[in-house]
Structure 1
Amino acid sequence: MTWHEDLATHVGNTGVRLPGAGGHAPAAANVAAAGAGWYGEEEEGRAEEGWAQQAKGFAESTAEMLRELGRGLWDVAAQSLAGAEDSEVARRLRKRAAATGKRLSFMNEYLPEERDPVRCWLTVAAVAFVSLLVLGFGSGNETPVELPKKLIIGPPSADRIQLPDGRHLAYQEQGVSANRARFSLIYPHSFLSSRLAGIPGIRASLLEEFGVRLVTYDLPGFGESDPHIGRNLNSSAMDMLYLANALNIPEKFWVVGYSGGGMHAWSALRYIPDRIAGAAMFAPMANPYDSKMTKDERRKTWDSWSTKRKLMHILARRFPSLLPFFYRQTFLSGKQGHPESWLSLSLGKKDKTLLEGPAFNAFWERNVAESVRQGDARPFVEEAVLQVSDWGFSLSDIQMQKKEARGFFELIKSLFNQAEREWVGFLGPIHIWQVCTLFS
Structure 2
Amino acid sequence: MSEVGGSYTRRDDLAGLEEESGIRYAGEPIGISTPSFATTSSEYVSGDSRTRESESLKDQAKGFMMAWGEILLEFGRGCRDIAQQSLLTEDSYLVRKLRRPYSKVSGKLKHLNEFLPEDRDPAHVWSVMFFVFILALAAMNVNTNHDRVPPVKKVRIHPPTASRILLPDGRHMAYREQGVPADRARFSLIAPHPFLSSRLAGIPGVKMSLLEEYGIRLVTYDLPGFGESDPHLGRTLNSSAFDILHLADAVGICDKFWMLGYSSGAMHAWAALRYIPKRIAGAAMLAPMINPYERGMNKEEIKMIWETWVPSRKLFYFLARRFPKLLSYFYWRSFLSGKHDRIENRLHLSLGKRDQMLVEEPIFEEYWHRDVEESIRQGNPKPFIQEAVLQVSDWGFSSADLQVQRKCQRRGFLSWLRSLYSQAECELAGFPGPIHIWQNWS
Flag whether TM exceeds 0.5 (same fold).
yes
* In 2, Cα distance between equivalents of 1:364 and 1:299: 31
1:402 positional shift: 2.3
Correspondence for 1:394: 398
Indicate which of 287, 296, 307 corresponds to 1:292.
296
Corresponding residue of 1:429: 434
Number of equivalenced pairs: 338
For 1:69, which of 66, 78, 95 is the aligned residue? 78
Local SS of the residue matching 1:257: strand
Identity %: 56
How well do the aligned residues superpose, as a CA RMSD in angstroms? 3.5
Q: Deviations over 1:188-225 (max 9, x none)?
A: 00011110010112111221122111100000111111
Contact 1:168–1:226 (CA under 8 A) maintained in structure 2: yes
Matched letter for residue 170 of structure 1: A
1:161 aligns with 2:165: yes
**2:308 counterpart of 1:304:** yes
Letter in 1 for 2:237: L
Q: How does 1:20-419 map to 2 (within 5 A)?
A: 65=74, 69-70=78-79, 131=134, 135=138, 139=142, 141=144, 143-144=146-147, 145-403=149-407, 406-407=410-411
Deviation at 1:175, TM superposition (A): 1.0
5+ long unaligned stretches in structure 1: 1-60, 79-110, 117-122
Which consecutive residues of structure 2, in runs of 5 or more, have no partner in the other structure?
1-69, 88-100, 107-125
Give yes or no for contact 1:330–1:337 (8 Å, CA) kept in 2: yes
In 1, Cα distance between equivalents of 2:208 and 2:143: 50
Shift in Å at residue 143 of structure 1? 2.8
* CA distance, structure 2, for counterparts of residue 286 and residue 139 of structure 1: 38
Structure 2: which amino acid aligns with 1:215?
Answer: V
How far, CA to CA, are the matches of 2:199 and 2:438 in structure 1?
21
Aligned to 2:26: none
From the superposition, tell whether residues 347 and 71 of structure 1 become closer, same or farther in structure 2 (CA, over 3 Å): closer
Cα gap change, 1:178/1:112 in structure 2, threshold over 3 Å: closer, same or farther? farther
Shift of 1:137: 9.8
Q: 1:203 to 1:418 in 2, by over 3 A?
A: same
Structure 1 contact 405–414 (Cα < 8 Å) conserved:
no
Q: Are the structure 2 counterparts of residues 208 and 303 from structure 1 closer, same or farther at C-alpha, using a change threshold of 3 Å?
A: same
Which stretch of the first structure deviates more once superposed, 341-350 or 420-429? Answer: 420-429
1:407 shift after superposition: 3.7
Which stretch shows the higher mean deviation, 243-252 or 64-73? 64-73
CA gap 1:224/1:67 in 2 versus in 1, 3 angstroms = closer
CA separation of 1:68 and 1:307: change in aligned 2, threshold 3 A: closer
Counterpart position of 1:38: none
**Distance apart, 1:338 and its partner CA:** 2.2
Contact 1:256 1:280 in 2 (8 A): yes
SS at match of 2:253: coil
Q: Which amino acid aligns with 1:358?
A: P
Shift of 1:375: 1.2
Distance 2:105 2:419 in 1: 56
1:250 is displaced (CA, Å) by 1.3
The amino acid of 1:156's aligned partner reads P
Distance 1:66 1:384, change over 3 A: same
Change (3 A) 1:132 1:237: farther
Supply the AA of the counterpart residue of 1:272: I
Deviations 1:87-111 (A, max 9, x none): xxxxxxxxxxxxxxxxxxxxxxxx9
Q: 1:329 to 1:419 in 2, by over 3 A?
A: same
1:281 alignment partner, SS class: strand
Structure 2 residue aligned with 1:86: none
Contact map agreement 2:224 2:383 (CA 8 A) in 1: yes
**What TM-score comes out, normalization by structure 1 length?**
0.68
User: Judging changes above 3 Å, is the alpha-carbon distance between structure 1 residues 352 and 137 closer, same or farther for their aligned structure 2 residues?
Assistant: closer
How far is 1:353 from its partner? Answer: 0.7
